[in-house]
Structure 1
Amino acid sequence: MNYILKEIKAALSLLSIPEKAVFLPKFFKTGKGEYGEGDQFIGVVVPEQRKVAKEYFSKIDLGELSELLSSEIHEHRLTALFMLILKFEKSKDQTVNDEIVEFYLNHIQYVNNWDLVDTSCYKILGRYAFENQNENLLRKLTDSENMWHKRIAVVGTMYYVKNGFFELTKEFVTHNLHHPHDLMHKANGWLLREMGNKNETELISFLNQYYKVMPRTCLRYAIEKLDESLRQDYLKGRI
């Protein structure tokens, strides 16, 4: 194993908390038939992973990062994604950014739990799609049969929402509004809520069209920040 990988893995191992290593598999649903089936944890909290990523991101290349991101250990993958984000954010070179996005897409099978998705996708794929006017990069993922790909697509539109552009979010939410998995209902509702934070009129318009047919979890997430009386009107179907 390359020395830099040994250092990173050793650093993470030293930060392991045994109680967290026991708790996290349950939290991330790693049991048989659950969405995180087979995922393994060593019990490192996120702030510590961010510190390790900040220390090593400039020292590790994409070839080495590939090995870390393909690890069976969840914290290895998340730390790898933190480093990839830092590389992308610090780069001023379009060629380097192209390579990072290609790397992300080529390793997308390892972005396979909700925190891995939500931490990384809009900061890399979402930003890249927005800045390069390449919505099809995300649109291909929302059409995938893989639930994580669909979540990457809709959460990836967060970068658009933060910049006041909502059409792609509405397109993806509508496309997967009736997806069977609760994690998609939560993601869709979350992005709608973020849209409402930027422009409540946009959210109200979308809700008035779809709220009676959207999954309850999605609706609850979407309306969380609305005035309580309006929330109750939506929950009780009075609009």
Structure 2
Amino acid sequence: MTAVGDLLAEVDAAGDPDTAEILARYFQVKPGGYGEGDRFIGVKLSTIRALLKPHLPADLPLADLEQALHSPVHEHRLAVLCVLAYRATRARRPRTTNPAELTEIHTLYLRNTARVNNWDLVDCSAAQIVGGYLADRPRDVLHTLIRSPLIWDRRIALIATHHFIRSGDATDLYALVPQVLDDPEDLIHKAAGWMLRETGARVSSTDLRAWLDLHAPSMPRTMLRYAVQHFPAEDRKHYLTLR
């Protein structure tokens, strides 16, 4: 068994049928749900992160990780994406910088976005792998992803901006969100609203309010509700009445 196979075997061993049933409902594997057809074995993210720790220094082969990303088991893909997110973050640190590996991980990720196929998989990886890679590069790919028919591509584009937002830059988010104001998917409304809320907290509440003054009337209510969640009660009420 390969080192990646050893890791996935440990994930399998931690599975719990009762937890699997709960997760399957939560992530909507039912017919017509956004997770339709996925398979859960019942391992929570906190458990997966604990299992990963001994494997992270081993630099598991990226080719083996990519192969494992095609596993039908949700938690296998989650474990792989956590490893890739860790490696992408490490590749940007001054003491462990590795531009070639960062590029390889970013490329691997983008050719497998169909396997990053639930919101938890996107949210644990997009900011580190896509946002981190694009931090000092042109960001045209975000505008390609946001127009994709694949819901996960669109969510990746939005969540990737979290990397920039944490550095005080909301420019890309403000350019992306208008493109999903009429998106049919609630998961996209939630992602956009979450990133807007983060922008208000980390970049500029004043700028967010100015942006909402223009766009709140045309925003999906869920998106708007997420965006103003941390506003004072009266301000929340004001913006929600605009919708």
- Compute the TM-score of the two structures, normalised by the length of structure 2: 0.93
Q: Residue in 2 aligned with 1:16?
A: 15
How far 1:18 sits from its partner (Å)? 2.1
Tell me what 1:83 maps to.
83
- Tell whether the 8 Å contact from 1:31 to 1:37 is kept in structure 2 after alignment: yes
Q: Give the 5 Å matches for 1:62-211.
A: 62-91=62-91, 92-131=97-136, 133-198=137-202, 199-211=204-216
Corresponding residue of 2:94 = none
Asked whether the 8 Å contact 1:71–1:77 carries over to 2, the reply is yes
Cα deviations across residues 59-105 of structure 1 (Å, max 9, x unaligned)? 31011101211111000000000111121222211111111111111
Deviation of 1:237 (Å): 2.8
Secondary structure of the structure 2 residue equivalent to 1:157: helix
**Displacement of 1:137:** 2.3
Partner of 1:149, secondary structure, is helix
How many equivalent residue pairs?
236
Q: Distance in 2 between matches of 1:87 and 1:67?
A: 17
For 2:213 and 2:166, the matched residues in 1 are separated by 22
How many Å separate the matches in 1 of 2:139 and 2:126?
Answer: 14
Secondary structure of the corresponding residue to residue 38 of structure 2: coil
Taking the aligned partners of 1:9 and 1:140, their CA distance within structure 2 comes to 33
Per-residue CA distance 1:79-133 (angstroms, 9 max, x = gap): 00011112122221111111111111122111010000011001110111113x2
Which segment is superposed worse, 81-90 or 22-31? 81-90
Given that residues 177 and 188 in structure 1 are in contact (C-alpha distance below 8 angstroms), is that contact kept between their aligned partners in structure 2?
no
Q: For residues 192 and 168 of structure 1, what CA distance do their matches in structure 2 show?
A: 11
* CA-CA distance at 1:48 after TM superposition: 1.2
* CA distance in structure 2 between the partners assigned to 1:99 and 1:3 by the alignment: 21
Amino acid at match of 1:76: H
Cα 1:57/1:70, change in 2 over 3 Å: farther
Distance 1:232 1:171 in 2: 25
Contact 1:16 1:42 in 2 (8 A): yes
RMSD of equivalent CA atoms: 1.3
Q: Return the offset for 1:52.
A: 2.0
Query: Structure 2: any 5+ residue segments left out of the alignment?
Result: 92-96
Distance in 2, matches of 1:64 and 1:52, equals 18
Secondary structure of the 1:203 match is helix
**How far apart are residue 53 of structure 1 and its match?**
2.1
CA shift at 1:26, angstroms? 0.5
Kept after mapping to 1: 8 A contact 2:197/2:226: yes
Deviations 1:191-224 (A, max 9, x none): 1101111210111011100111111100100000
Q: CA deviation at 1:6?
A: 3.0
- Mapped to 2, the partners of 1:36 and 1:104 lie a distance apart of 19
Q: Percent identity?
A: 35
Aligned partner of residue 20 in structure 2, secondary structure: helix
